Amino acid sequence: MTTLQVLETVQETPPPTPRRVPRRIRVLTVDDWLSLVGAVISSLAVVTIGYEHILDGSGVLGFMVCWYFTFLAIYASLVALTNPRQIVVERLVTSTLYLAATVVILALGSTVVYTFAKGWHALVHVNFYTHDMSGVSPTAPLTQGGILHALVGSVIEVGLAVAISVPLGIGTAVYMTEVGGRGSQLVRTVVEAMTALPEILAGLFVYVVLIVGFGLPKSGLAASVAMAVTMVPIIARAGEVALRVVPSGLREASAALGANHWKTVSRVVLPSARSGLATGTILAVARGIGETAIVLICSAASSFLTFNPTNVPMNSLPLYIYTAYSSHEPTAITRAFGAASVLLTMVLLLFVVIRLLVRDKGQQR
Amino acid sequence: MTTTFPEVAPTAKRTPRTLNPGLEPSDRLFHGGATMVGMFVLIMTGSIGLFLGYQSIPTLRHYGLSFFTQTSWQPELDKIGIAAVLVGTVEVALVAMVVAFPFALMMALFITDYAPRQIKSWLVSAVDLMAAVPSIIYGLWGFYLLQPHAINLARWLSQHFGWFPLFHVDTDPNAAVWQQSRYTSSAFIAGLAVSMMAIPLACAVMRAVFDQAPLGEREAAMALGGTRFGVARTVVFPFAKGGIIGGTMLALGRALGETAAVLIIVSPDFAIKARILEAGSQTTSQLIAGNFGDATKSQLSALLTAGFVLFLITLLVNSVAAVVIRRSRSGAGTEI
Amino acid sequence: MGNDAKVAVLPRNAAALEAVEVSAWFGGTQVLDDVSLSVPPATVTALIGPSGCGKSTFLRILNRMHESVPGAQLAGEVRLDGSDIYTAGYRPTDVRKQIGMVFQKPNPFPTMSIADNVAAGLALTNTKIGRQDRNYLIEACLTRAGLWNEVKDRMNRPGSALSGGQQQRLCIARALAVEPKVLLMDEPCSALDPTSTHRIEETIAELRTQITIVIVTHNMQQAARVSQQAAFFLAELGSPGGIVERGPTDQMFNNPSDPRTDDYVNGRFG
């Protein structure tokens, strides 16, 4: 039978840490941080000196790449001085991952910042938001003309597309999850396949069938129909997922209370899936709002403001951006960036709405 | 007082009763309505595919296999083919994926295992935002901001790796004043811009599967003394193989169909170009966008055929991706 | 018992473990309060008590797994042979190489063969080992875990193609391959059938002289069978958990000092 052995501490123990107070656990020492900073600075110095001479200045990108590899080499040797191989690998991987994430975020950030910066000169003019480009040549100064027609066009076209695609998309999602059956499997396969349809083909299809085939005029409505073709599969798929995730316990509770299927779906299931459905819709809208080729093909780059979607060509923001860019005139390009800024703002707003909705759903639980 | 139940016919005991409540009228209406919507969508979307296929028949009958081997698009000479266009489309998409794959993988691993808790949700939002930015904006960014820097990189590549046919450019990279215009508007630069759209898509799928790597195995690897990368190597990557491949292929599908960014960056050049760093390329979407306006009925049909081929390729890539994801260990719960 | 010659080759490196005034939090909620425990080398210590009183949390503090949970904090020290493992600059990965853990649910790596599973710890820690030594080590660890005879003919099959009890013994072999000084076991038999449980208890008894073991168990009879000393954890409603009584197992079960211990070991609650 063993007895409790009393431990004798032979060596000096450090002063006891305070009781009942959480302690800060530091894994990295001062030495680790110094190695990192030292490697960064020394590699920068090495590359700065060597770059001009050895690699005859191939631009900023090349400099960054050389800096990265030099940093890896120096940092690896520093860390290897006091740490086993496993830790050296870990440190290199960690620094590379941080760098990769930074690069991606910088790329995104530079896109946003650059768009707003280049468009700034156009954005500060009020006429940019209130006039259209009718009678204004691309070389005209920024105090003339504006993107109102494109803005209105985008809103109307996407609005019509939403009006068409949301009922169809959600209806299909309801069909797939609630009614089910063999037909629904076929529908699911086809819908999934249609998400692969490039947007330009949707536009071309509408062009060939409605405009050339039926002789309908190029219009905002035609563009909306083509947009709806690309949006319906997105909404249907996201909607199906959102509906499927609704716990079956809710459906059973509703049935146990005596509700028929329709009441269950309309009063219980759809409201529960509300935010998932909204997210799917907004994702589809973000896609539709950015579609350039469809409006190019089914409508046209008109300069006139119009509220009539049915028989007059209607411009949109992406198409306006493209045509303004194509002229290669400096003021037109500034306007293009201005329009791009407006487009970007709209997408950002949609995005914020999605985030709010999703957080809402999280809190509901 | 005992309750007596009515006698049940002897043969009816222990055999299941048939129950057929049927649907009540309002439900019958509901099911019928939902089915009609489903069928309508099925017919509409299916007929698009069928229509495209149907339109391709006269074109293919007229041109035969030369449609796939002819590089130029000159309808007035009755010489049209999608060889150059297909090669260009694939080149741009491949450049995009070569750049996008490592960044998406690293970003996904960073978000799931390395990012400090506070910034994790911001990073996820940033990646999703990246996916929502319209492609024309990336086109502008690529053309005006990225291109001046990227051509330096292209020149460096052609300087040191020009012996490899892919990287060769038809001009002297070592000249003191080198011809910048030979490096602009290339498949390479378009690929870089398209990668901005491929990265978030691949990253989202990879992140979803990394998150699902079983905690028990992760803890076992940690308890054995593994570092974060050790855990990733031993547990996460083997588990997430299917998601990694599937996510990459989905992003490839998107890259193949990309239009607006390519329209802005690339200058048309109808030749099968293996030299991705050199100016000029051509993709299917560009072809359609550039030619639909003046096209006659038969030319429209040819354009539709070109588009149909693109659609089939994208569909194939997406389907393979879906199968790979679904079959893999990580696929069970992933929604793509 | 396996091949004695091979088993004897492995050094005895059992270490003493001491927890000093350990408290733990998850976010703002305190789950352990001022827990101190001395674990002598080459012994088996059982942590017993009803669910939810912090036994597993305490165990995970012993090998620095606790801090991997977001929001987790701790106070106090854990001394391995006298040195606090939470000292700044000590890497958790190094600590875990010396203090191994076996989990409640067996978790062999499914994409690796049985042999590779056992050696996984070496691969994870970039430990170089010759092919011959590696095979030697794998066989020795599987023998110590009592699994060698059952798998020696299928070493290249995947690690998941085994029964639950065999998988758990594989996990034990895998933990032993890193040659830790202490082995922590978090209810290793709770998911297993009685035969496997018995086999694993035999393994624990065989390992005891070479390695220090701390085992969390719900099963009091198991605690009585395998351990030399025991600690009884309890958390009253709403307060953080702590040790009510500790001492030699025999004494804890037959002659406990605290009435709550008496109630628990006699099955009056928990």
Measure the CA–CA gap between A238 and A231, rounded to whole angstroms.
11
Q: Which domain holds residue B187?
A: 83-284
Evaluate whether residue B116 is within a structural domain.
yes
Measure the CA–CA gap between C207 and C183, rounded to whole angstroms.
10
Evaluate whether residue A174 is within a structural domain.
yes
Q: Which of A108, A193, A204 faces B307 most closely, judged by CB atoms? A: A204
What pLDDT digit, counting tens, does each position of C21-78 carry?
A: 999 999 888 999 999 999 999 999 999 998 888 999 999 999 998 888 888 888 999 9
Evaluate whether residue B122 is within a structural domain.
yes
Contacts of A12 in chain C (CB under 8 A): none
Nearest CA in chain A to C240: A20
What pLDDT digit, counting tens, does each position of A165-205 carry?
A: 999 999 999 999 888 778 888 888 888 888 878 888 888 88
Q: In the predicted model, what is the mean pLDDT of chain A? A: 83
User: Do A110 and A164 reside in the same domain of the chain?
Assistant: no
Model pLDDT, residue C9: 42
Res C3 pLDDT > 50: no
Measure the CA–CA gap between A167 and A241, rounded to whole angstroms.
16
Nearby residues of A113 by Cβ (< 8 Å), 6 or more positions away: none
Q: Which of B23, B107, B307 faces A101 most closely, judged by CB atoms? A: B107
Evaluate whether residue C126 is within a structural domain.
yes
Evaluate whether residue A123 is within a structural domain.
no
Beta-strand ranges (E) seen in chain C are: 17-26, 29-39, 44-48, 72-80, 83-84, 99-102, 182-186, 212-216, 229-234, 242-248
Evaluate whether residue C107 is within a structural domain.
yes
Domain boundary (A67, A97, A118) is at A118
Evaluate whether residue C82 is within a structural domain.
yes
Evaluate whether residue B18 is within a structural domain.
no
Residue C5 structure tokens:
């010659």
pLDDT class for A105, splitting at 50, 70, 90? very high
CATH number for B132: 1.10.3720.10
pLDDT class for B312, splitting at 50, 70, 90? confident
Please give the residue that has the higher pLDDT: either B168 or A353.
A353
Evaluate whether residue B121 is within a structural domain.
yes
CATH number for A303: 1.10.3720.10
What pLDDT digit, counting tens, does each position of B21-73 carry?
A: 677 788 888 888 899 999 998 888 888 888 888 888 888 888 888 788 877 77
Counting the structural domains of chain A, the total is: 2
Distance from CA of C89 to the nearest CA of A (A): 5
- Count the residues in chain C: 270
Which of 49-88 (C) contact B at CB < 8 A?
Answer: 63, 65, 68, 70
Q: How far is CA B197 from the centre of its chain?
A: 9
Q: Which domain holds residue A80?
A: 30-118
Model pLDDT, residue C11: 47
What DSSP string runs through B88-144? HHHHHHHHHHHHHHHHHHHHHHIIIIIS-HHHHHHHHHHHHHHHHS-HHHHHHIIII
Q: Do the interacting molecules here have an ipTM over 0.95?
A: no
Which of C33, C41, C43, C22 shows the shortest CA–CA distance to C230?
A: C43
Measure the CA–CA gap between C24 and C77, rounded to whole angstroms.
11
Asked whether C121 and B222 are in contact (CB, 8 A), the reply is no
Q: Which of A27, A29, A84 faces C126 most closely, judged by CB atoms? A: A84
Counting the structural domains of chain C, the total is: 1
| Inter-chain contacts counted by CB atoms under 8 A, chains A and B | 267
Evaluate whether residue C270 is within a structural domain.
no
Nearest CA in chain C to B240: C111
User: Do A293 and A360 reside in the same domain of the chain?
Assistant: yes
Evaluate whether residue A64 is within a structural domain.
yes
User: Do A220 and A352 reside in the same domain of the chain?
Assistant: yes
Torsion from C-alpha of A103, A107, A108, A113, nearest 10 degrees = 130
User: Do A191 and A316 reside in the same domain of the chain?
Assistant: yes
CATH number for C125: 3.40.50.300
Q: Please answer yes or no on whether A16 and C77 come within 8 Å at the CB atom.
A: yes
What does DSSP say about strands C72-80 and C17-26: parallel, antiparallel, or unpaired?
A: antiparallel
Sign of torsion, CA B213 B215 B220 B221? Answer: positive
What pLDDT digit, counting tens, does each position of B316-328 carry?
A: 888 888 888 777 7
Counting the structural domains of chain B, the total is: 1
Q: How far is CA C25 from the centre of its chain?
A: 22
User: Do A306 and A161 reside in the same domain of the chain?
Assistant: yes
Model pLDDT, residue A14: 52
To test the contact with chain C by mutation, choose from B113, B215, B224 the residue with the greatest count of C C-beta atoms within 10 A, namely B224
Evaluate whether residue C101 is within a structural domain.
yes
| Inter-chain contacts counted by CB atoms under 8 A, chains B and C | 68
User: Do A247 and A303 reside in the same domain of the chain?
Assistant: yes
Measure the CA–CA gap between B120 and B104, rounded to whole angstroms.
15
Q: Radius of gyration of chain A from Cα atoms?
A: 30
Model pLDDT, residue A18: 61
Report the share of chain B in percent with pLDDT over 90.
21
Measure the CA–CA gap between A238 and A275, rounded to whole angstroms.
11
Asked whether B253 and B318 are in contact (CB, 8 A), the reply is yes
> Phi and psi for C189 in degrees, rounded to 5?
-105, 0
Q: Which domain holds residue C177?
A: 4-265
What pLDDT digit, counting tens, does each position of B97-152 carry?
A: 999 999 999 999 999 999 988 899 889 889 988 988 998 999 999 999 988 888 88
pTM exceeds cut of 0.90:
no
Evaluate whether residue A175 is within a structural domain.
yes
